[in-house]
Amino acid sequence: MITHTARPLKVVLYEGKGAIPLPAESRAKVMMALLDKGYAVARVTESGSNSSAPSDDHTLLLLGTFPARQAPELEDATGRVKIEARDITDLDPDSIVALVEKSRGSKPMNEPGKWKPWFPVIDYTRCTNCMQCLSFCLFDVYGVSTENKIQVQNNDNCKTNCPACSRVCPEVAIMFPKYQAGPINGDDVSAADHGREKMKVDISSLLGGDIYSALKDRSAAAKSRFSKERSPDKALDERKKCLTKLVSDGFIPMDVLASLPSPDVILRKAEEAKARAAAALAAQ
Amino acid sequence: MPETLLYCRCAYAQVVPTGVKNDVLQRLCDSGSSFETVSDLCEMAAHRDPRLQNLVNSGKLKIAACYPRAVTGLFHQAGSPLPENTEIFNMRTQTAEEIVGQMLQDSTVSVAVEG
């Protein structure tokens, strides 16, 4: 998991005063290639102006086609941002990307393909702060703010491609923008969606009405069998059976099953989540 | 009030149709306008990237990304709520022609250089 926010440089495709516009056929190709590598790119033409000052000390890499292939020497008036200018006359998109990569050097950067930004996004225009998501999630993704409002606190704990919590939200307020289908992907919520999503709450009732209670019951049953059968694998088997239907329904990826905490941890987490939810609701 | 055009490439997952997102970028490039692009707004929001706040501060935003409800939620969750006058265009459902036509309509474009 890459969690740093470092963006060692920002690229500016400069076509403003003092520069010659890039060939039309290569402009978009260059931008696509850089974006697909994870860079942020601004295109500046004579129609544009800088409306806000740089806020950090990152490097600004200005690319342009300059007269006599001579990139200008530039510096930030505030002295906070290092500005490098490079002439890219006659360079093809691949060579331009190589030039940018060389300029970045060994500084780390988030890159597409190595990680998928998968986490719940709460639509607060729909959320009623019922805390069902807090109670449901086994991975501590949700928490409660100092104002006793539900919030996503640990993105990185979320299991990629698992949108299960969005199915238990009675208000369809939980989105996963990278999900394929609506309304979980952020598409508008229709009356039919609302009804259907309410029915989807029954994914927890397939375990007896409440996923934690059910897991607790099954854990107790499994524990009972431990003593009789002395088979520690039974509990895990039982728990997996409980969730297999969720997987087969496509709500939960297989690898989420594999990463579930132990029954004891689930019980403890359930109690803790219940207490946090109750405290937050009581404080409202 | 100056406007900032922002394009999200959705590079970390292929949920925006490639043809549409390429066409939107091509049309923006052909327009002669200045604009901002980011590799993926979800990735930035996941890390509470402070550059999102710079974008919010840069003037009226016109964003080409995905579902407005999702984009609004991403900025809010990242601690950089979008102003009410923000316009969001959906590359998952709209055509490139529609999107760019509306983005360039009456635009007085500026560029936020947030580093």
What would the pLDDT profile of A243-256 be if each residue is shown by its tens digit?
Answer: 666 667 666 777 77
Domains of chain A by residue range: 9-104, 121-283
pLDDT of A205 above 90: no
The pLDDT tens digits for A126-155 are 999 999 899 888 889 999 999 999 999 999
| Residue B37 burial (CB count, 10 A) | 24
pLDDT of A49 above 50: no
Q: How many CB pairs under 8 A join A and B?
A: 180
| Residue-wise burial string across B3-18, b where 16 or more C-beta atoms lie within 10 A, e elsewhere | bbbbbbbbbbbebbee
pLDDT value for A28 = 95
CB B71 within 8 A of CB B40: no
- Average pLDDT score over residue span A46-62: 62
Q: Do B11 and A112 touch (CB under 8 A)?
A: yes
pLDDT value for A203 = 43
Q: A241 vs chain B: nearest CA distance in angstroms? A: 31
Q: How far apart are CA B55 and CA B106, in angstroms?
A: 20
What ipTM was reported for this prediction? 0.92
pLDDT value for A24 = 83
The domains located in chain B, with CATH, are: 3-104 (3.40.50)
Percentage of chain A modeled with pLDDT above 90: 41
Q: A283 vs chain B: nearest CA distance in angstroms? A: 22
pLDDT value for A237 = 54
Which residue do the tokens 């080409």 mark?
A: B64
The pLDDT tens digits for A67-95 are 999 988 887 777 778 889 999 999 999 99
Within 38-97 of B, beta carbons closer than 8 Å to A belong to 38-40, 42-43, 45-51, 54, 57-59, 66-74, 76-77, 92-93
- Segments of chain B scoring below 50 in pLDDT: 111-115
pLDDT value for A38 = 93
Q: How far apart are CA A190 and CA A144, in angstroms?
A: 28
